[in-house]
Amino acid sequence: MDQRHNMEHWPERVDLAAAFRWTARLDMHEGVANHFSLAVNDAGTRFLMNPNQMHFARIKASDLLLVDAEDPETLKGPDAPDPTAWGLHGGVHRACPHARCVMHVHSIHATVLACLQDSRLPPIDQNCCTFYDRIVIDEHYGGLAFEDEGARCAALLTDPRKKVMVMGSHGILVIGDSVADTFNRLYYFERAAETYIRALQTGQPLRRIPDEIAEKTARELEAYPEQDTRHLAELKAILDSEGADYAA
């Protein structure tokens, strides 16, 4: 029997590794520069995250680091996480126990949205409605996400209804209850941002959905049963059928 399966939090490791692999496949990564994390204790301060400078396309469940946001020695170990990942993800996990999973990427369409003077995502289609009044926009980019910047960003996520932060001039940060919940939200935000950016490129007037319908649609989508878990399960099934080693 493979002894790696005896590692702590093995099912969570497998889910997170699958999310890394699929994010790479969708070209939503940024080389070796972005990070995902998943809290594994009630306080949210102990979490799994990707090793420093490893490409998403190669990450396996056994590669994931288990770190402690309350331990100042974390950055001194041989497998220390990237300092910016520690600053951003550690800051969010320390301040926001409701953020069980945190995914930060510089995916192209979400980042284009983050670069606009007005980074709001109007409800112009069903995917955009998913995020109606559920987005925080960070208007004050402060450089690389070391600890002070991470703490500043975390302070913007106090409303548990708002699980997407458009990081102005930077990228996107998405939080959720699990890997499946968070990846599903990340995926659909990028799709919604792409629709909006492409619609802007036509130069034609946008068809905006009324606010009350946008809110109704958002609530309906939030209550849609098992969509996130089934989404991730299907992605894992595809990876398994291809013989991918993400679960090793």
State both tokens at 2. 């493979």
One-letter-per-residue 3-state SS of the chain:
CCHHHHCCCHHHHHHHHHHHHHHHHCCCCCCCCCEEEEECCCCCCEEEECCCCCCHHHCCHHHCEEEECCCCCHHHCCCCCCHHHHHHHHHHHHHCCCCCEEEEECCHHHHHHHHCCCCCCCCCCHHHHCCCCCEEEECCCCCCCCHHHHHHHHCCCCCCCCCEEEECCCEEEEEECCHHHHHHHHHHHHHHHHHHHHHHHHCCCCCCCCHHHHHHHHHHHHCCCCHHHHHHHHHHHHHHHCCCCCCC
144 band by pLDDT with thresholds 50, 70 and 90: low
Residue 112 pLDDT: 98
| pLDDT at residue 5 in the model | 60
Tokens representing 135 are 């987005």
pTM: 0.94
The reported pLDDT for the residue numbered 153 is 87
Confidence check: pLDDT of 1 > 70: no
Beta-carbon contacts of 46 under 8 Å, excluding residues fewer than 6 positions away, are 39, 40, 66, 67, 68, 69
pLDDT tens digits for 185-216?
A: 999 999 999 999 999 999 999 999 999 999 99
> Tens digits of per-residue pLDDT, 99-141?
999 999 999 999 999 999 999 999 999 999 999 999 999 998 8
Asked whether residue 3 carries a pLDDT value surpassing 60, the answer given is no
pLDDT in tens, 30-39: 989 899 999 9
Residue 128 or 78, more confident: 128
Output 240-246 pairs: Cβ under 8 A, ≥24 positions apart.
244/21, 245/60, 246/14, 246/17, 246/18, 246/20, 246/21, 246/59, 246/60, 246/61
List the domain boundaries for the chain.
3-241
Is residue 176 within 8 Å of 101, Cβ to Cβ? yes
Q: What's the topology of domain 3-241? A: L-fuculose-1-phosphate Aldolase (3.40.225)
Q: Which of 49, 56, 43 has its CA nearest to residue 85?
A: 49
85-104 residue pLDDT tens: 888 999 999 999 999 999 99
The answer on pLDDT for 78 being more than 70 is no
Given a cut of 70, is residue 83 above it in pLDDT? yes
Determine the average pLDDT of the residues in 12-37: 96
**What percent of the chain stands above pLDDT 90?**
77
Which residues are CB-neighbours of 20 under 8 A, at least 6 positions away? 36, 50, 56, 57, 59, 246
Residue 6 confidence (pLDDT):
67
Q: In which band, very low, low, confident or very high, does the pLDDT at 19 lie, cut at 50, 70 and 90?
A: very high
Confidence of residue 152 (pLDDT cuts 50, 70, 90): confident
148 has a pLDDT exceeding 90: no
